[in-house]
Structure 1
Amino acid sequence: MNPDSWTLLQAVLVFSSCALVIAIAGTRITRVVDQLADRTGIGEAAAGAVLLGAATSIGGSVLSVTAAWHGNAELAVSNALGGIAVQTFFLAVADMVYRRANLEHAAASVPNMMQNALLITLLALIMTAPLLPEVTLWGIHPVTPLLFIAYVYGIHLSQGAHNSPMWAPTRTRETSEDKPDDTSQMSSMARLWSEFALLFIILGVAGWTLEPSATVIAAKTGLTQTIVGVMLTAISTSIPELVTSIAAVRRGALTLAVGGIIGGNAFDTLFTAASDVAYREGSIYHTMTDDTLFWAGLTLLMSGILMMGLIRRERQGPGRIGVESVLLILLYLGGAWLLLY
């Protein structure tokens, strides 16, 4: 059925069904990535950043690229930036679930801090792009290849920080150690990779189907594409990050939980780069509205606060969570209130 002929009810049903599929597949993929981290020896932080971060973000990535291809630039960019903000908010939720200590204290990891520094760098590039001349080559702005290059180089540095760290966080009773589990009881490497690939495809297809339903909802309700992107598609495609981070915390894979969120956020910045490639009407960065730029700045601010929390490593804070978690919650809810009102 042509999405243009959908009623609002049909669009909502398709949207809800895709969100449910993303939640179920995203939950399942956590266990697979946790085992792959142990079998491959790359470590929970790297596995969370690269495998879990990319897998749980693929739905949002496909949605942004599809929206850009269809000329819905505002939806594409707001979905990417809104996803980073809500996923950082989810990290504060995971901190509330882990009652033993502040999650950023317990999951101390040099690769996670490297990933967060990479995220801040990529966000700064995105915010700089609209202020640069609107010059494109084959319809692609020069910042786009820079984002891809910076991401790949940042992942290389993060892996190097895991393999040969130049310094290490102070170990405390609450610090979680990234020790591999017993692999003898795990599925074979071939089966794990096959299951990972299948779930990856399912998440991508769900994201592709989600885009037309979100566009119809925006058109039928009169909401701006920024509101739909930030408050609907970003949240629904980020459900795996919430579910997987809580599941990882309960499994005791604390570094994986934090790495999955931060790594997913870094990967999400590439939504914007990929959307610029798909957008054929010029530089997608120069279509960013004031609301979208506000969310870019908000995500940068939240990432900076998270970085300070990772470095400070407060053991207990208000409500037995870190002060940075309290600030992340207030910033996200405040941003959502300003957007809606």
Structure 2
Amino acid sequence: MVALYLGGLKIARVQRPPMWRPVTTSDTRADRREDHDRQSKRPLYRLWAGFLALDLLVVIGGGATARAAGTLLTTTQLNAGVIGGIFMAVVNALPETLTAIVAARRGAVTLAIAGVIGGHCLDALNLAVGDLAYGGGSLFHAAGTGQLFLTTTALLMTAVLLGGLLVRQRHGWWRMGFDGVLLMLIYAIAVVTLAF
């Protein structure tokens, strides 16, 4: 998985000519760059230091979340699929969600989309890291029906996301595109299915 990911990045970087080119249409909205932003006046090393400090907080929070999930598993009647697929997934997605919201509100739509898709790729790579840490053979062979169901749900949601990137809507449902509504519906169905 890691080799495929790195190979894909390499191919995307060196491909000449590109396999596809984006074109500007009447519906294209360019990202706005805020030159007057106070963050842009800070030295680069301070931005990196702040970024790394926040990353460290996320790592510490991730460890605490894993311990809390273990405690939930031993003290409640909930199964591991529900705890991992719902509770830990929500906690894991919160930083990515907030980043996407802030980026979109600031007009950096490409950053918002790339952050979500890039985070999705790295989340998949976390399975390879977990496979290394798992002592009982392959992590993938230990997956139960709940994990396979969530994997299938994630694939379906990724297909809907890609469809939303390809099909542009001028007016969507409830101020969202069809893809946003379908993603929420698919996730809600998955949560109910896992819980019962």
Specify the code of the residue in structure 2 equivalent to 1:314: Q
TM-score (norm 2): 0.89
Distance 2:11 2:31 in 1: 18
**1:327 paired residue among 170, 182, 187:** 182
Give the unaligned 5+ runs of structure 2.
none
**2:29 paired residue among 166, 169, 176:** 176
TM-score (norm 1): 0.53
The question of whether the paired residues in 1 share the 8 Å contact of 2:33 and 2:108 is answered with: no
1:188 aligned residue:
43
Say whether 1:260 aligns with 2:130.
no
* Shift, 1:172, TM fit: 2.4
2:150 aligned residue:
295
Mark the CA change 1:327 to 1:224 in structure 2 (over 3 Å): closer, same or farther: same
* Shift, 1:184, TM fit: 8.8
Distance 1:235 1:184 in 2: 30
RMSD: 2.2
Specify the SS of the correspondent of 1:287.
coil
Mark the CA change 1:178 to 1:153 in structure 2 (over 3 Å): closer, same or farther: farther
Distance 1:336 1:260 in 2: 24
Say whether 1:228 aligns with 2:48.
no
Specify the SS of the correspondent of 2:71.
helix
Specify the code of the residue in structure 1 equivalent to 2:5: Y
Distance 1:316 1:158 in 2: 32
The question of whether the paired residues in 1 share the 8 Å contact of 2:103 and 2:109 is answered with: yes
**Alignment: residue pair count:** 193
**1:312 paired residue among 167, 171, 184:** 167
Specify the code of the residue in structure 2 equivalent to 1:153: G
The question of whether the paired residues in 2 share the 8 Å contact of 1:176 and 1:255 is answered with: no
Specify the code of the residue in structure 2 equivalent to 1:218: L
| Identical positions, percent | 32
Distance 1:279 1:292 in 2: 16
| TM superposition outliers: structure 1 runs of 4+ over 3 Å | 156-161, 163-166, 178-181
The question of whether the paired residues in 2 share the 8 Å contact of 1:302 and 1:331 is answered with: yes
Query: 1:60-98 CA deviation, whole Å, 9 max, x = no partner?
Result: xxxxxxxxxxxxxxxxxxxxxxxxxxxxxxxxxxxxxxx
The question of whether the paired residues in 1 share the 8 Å contact of 2:81 and 2:146 is answered with: yes
* Shift, 1:287, TM fit: 0.8
Give the unaligned 5+ runs of structure 1.
1-146
Specify the code of the residue in structure 2 equivalent to 1:227: V
Distance 1:184 1:255 in 2: 18
Distance 1:217 1:184 in 2: 43
Equivalences for residues 43-122 of structure 1 within 5 A? none
Query: 1:112-156 CA deviation, whole Å, 9 max, x = no partner?
Result: xxxxxxxxxxxxxxxxxxxxxxxxxxxxxxxxxxx1011122333
Say whether 1:278 aligns with 2:139.
no
Mark the CA change 1:158 to 1:195 in structure 2 (over 3 Å): closer, same or farther: farther
1:218 aligned residue:
73
